[in-house]
Amino acid sequence: MVAESVLELQQLSKRYGRTKAVQDLTLSVPRGSVYGLLGPNGSGKTTTLGIALGVLHATAGTVRWFGQAPSATARRRIGALLETPNFFPYLSARQNLQIAADIKGADEAAIQAALQTVELANRQHEPVRGFSLGMKQRLALASALLGQPEVLVLDEPTNGLDPTGIADVRALIQRLAAQGKTIILASHLLDEVQKVCTHVGVMHQGQLRAAGAVSAILAATDRVHLRLGAEAAPGVLAQALAALPFVHDVQTLANGACSLALASGHSAADVNRALFAQGLALAHLSTEQRSLEAEFLQIIQKS
């Protein structure tokens, strides 16, 4: 079953004079996913989110939210945090949220629920000037949550935070995702995307270089290492592997060992079975799980 998309971007492009900030970008965010737009600084993530939210105009392309053209009704279903808002430092967390709630038409219950979600309910009467950056970021998230949006769009949500602040925001994102919200976040931190996202779109120089489920992108990069017993003739293993249809990118290593990549849906056990059926017994078999970082670097290098 194909998951329903919350957001679809079709052939989006944005130019600033000669700068092509976004080029021909097409992506789809499945409902219930935590979608990480990953890319180095200047790769076009903020521009993409800005266009999706209607605060920037695309030079070309279309945006669809919930299967429809953008509208005020659709916008009310989306909470966004593109930059940390300026809170009034002498007002309490609650008073600051009250101002945002008045603008959004959210009620008392919504303020209380948002404060609880971001775990600031017990500090709500303190002035914001005494808050850490992490607490301010959580308050900003509370503000984005007023109106109970189905989707949250966050630009670099952990930027500038210390490790505790990062862990708090990460846990919060995971809690919101567990409640069924779709979360779209931009980040240049691989680790962040790998830890919290179910899906990833890798951007580089304004273009989407790879996209899909994090698990699929990682599985596609697993490498299997294997070696036959010392009695095997040199080259036999590489030859046998090259003939297997679900194996690609076979590399011969020192002492006759080989490494390979698997087609999706196949495992190291399939390789073992196929070789054994040909009378080849393995002395060593292991899988190297590559990190998103390794994959990310490879995607960027390829482009």
Ligand X SMILES: Nc1ncnc2c1ncn2[C@@H]1O[C@H](COP(=O)(O)OP(=O)(O)OP(=O)(O)O)[C@@H](O)[C@H]1O
Of 16 and 276, which CB lies nearer to ligand X in the complex structure? 16
Look up residue 89 and give its DSSP letter.
T
Q: 9 and 25 in contact (C-beta within 8 Å)?
A: yes
Determine if 39 is a binding residue for ligand X (CB under 6 A).
Answer: yes
Determine if 188 is a binding residue for ligand X (CB under 6 A).
Answer: yes
Instruction: Provide the phi-psi class of 43: left if phi over 0, else alpha when psi is between -120 and 50, else beta.
Output: alpha
Q: Which stretch binds ligand X (CB under 6 A): 37-45, 62-70, 77-85, 229-237?
A: 37-45
Determine if 46 is a binding residue for ligand X (CB under 6 A).
Answer: yes
- Whole-number Å distance between alpha carbons of 237 and 222: 19
**What is the distance, to the nearest Å, from the Cα of residue 300 to the centroid of all Cα atoms in its chain?**
16
Determine if 44 is a binding residue for ligand X (CB under 6 A).
Answer: yes
Q: Which stretch binds ligand X (CB under 6 A): 40-48, 66-74, 110-118, 263-271?
A: 40-48
Beta bridge partners of 227: 284
Q: Which stretch binds ligand X (CB under 6 A): 16-24, 119-127, 224-232, 270-278?
A: 16-24
In this structure, are strands 199-204 and 223-228 parallel, antiparallel, or unpaired?
Answer: unpaired
CB of 53 to ligand X, least distance (A): 13
Indicate which single residue of 7, 21, 142, 241 sits in contact with ligand X (rule: CB under 6 A).
21
CB of 6 to ligand X, least distance (A): 21
Determine if 303 is a binding residue for ligand X (CB under 6 A).
Answer: no
For 215, 231, 274, 280, the CA distances from 283, given in Å and listed in that order, are: 29, 10, 15, 10
Determine if 42 is a binding residue for ligand X (CB under 6 A).
Answer: yes
Determine if 45 is a binding residue for ligand X (CB under 6 A).
Answer: yes
The sign of the dihedral angle between the CA atoms of 273, 262, 288, 235 is positive
Q: 221 and 269 in contact (C-beta within 8 Å)?
A: no
Q: Which stretch binds ligand X (CB under 6 A): 24-32, 36-44, 80-88, 111-119?
A: 36-44
Indicate which single residue of 5, 23, 33, 43 sits in contact with ligand X (rule: CB under 6 A).
43
Of 41 and 255, which CB lies nearer to ligand X in the complex structure? 41
- Whole-number Å distance between alpha carbons of 31 and 177: 10
Look up residue 179 and give its DSSP letter.
T
Determine if 15 is a binding residue for ligand X (CB under 6 A).
Answer: no
- Which residues of this chain interact with ligand X, rule CB under 6 A? 16, 19, 21, 39, 41-47, 188
